[in-house]
Amino acid sequence: AQSVSQHNHHVILSEAASLELGCNYSYGGTVNLFWYVQYPGQHLQLLLKYFSGDPLVKGIKGFEAEFIKSKFSFNLRKPSVQWSDTAEYFCAVSENMNTGFQKLVFGTGTRLLVSP
């Protein structure tokens, strides 16, 4: 079964610092990859996704992620964080079930605190 690891559980940065959040998954083959964000008091929303093509994916709010197939990784990056990026970030990877249905497997999340 697919598993997703987010190694950093809590990250604290100052504004303007660069951000990289790690995400590794266990099972190879064709996967769809997602990063979701949950701002305080808000619902989960999609930051970016990768299905195929250019392994460097750009998302909303200046975020990007790079898919490295050989490393089973999909790390999230932002060159310069803002206080408003304070949130919890979840990596998710698709998994095909025996029935052919595709579900998402989520990582445990990384809480980012950006101090002004």
Partner 1 sequence: DVKVTQSSRYLVKRTGEKVFLECVQDMDHENMFWYRQDPGLGLRLIYFSYDVKMKEKGDIPEGYSVSREKKERFSLILESASTNQTSMYLCASRQGQGDEQYFGPGTRLTVT
Binding site for partner 1 (CB under 8 A): 4, 6, 9, 32, 34, 36, 42-46, 49, 51, 90, 92, 94, 97, 99, 101-104, 106-109
Closest CB 115 distance from partner 1, rounded Å: 21
Distances (CA, A) of 26 to 3, 5, 48: 5, 8, 20
Closest CB 6 distance from partner 1, rounded Å: 8
CB nearer to partner 1: pick between 99 and 116: 99
Amino acid at 100: G
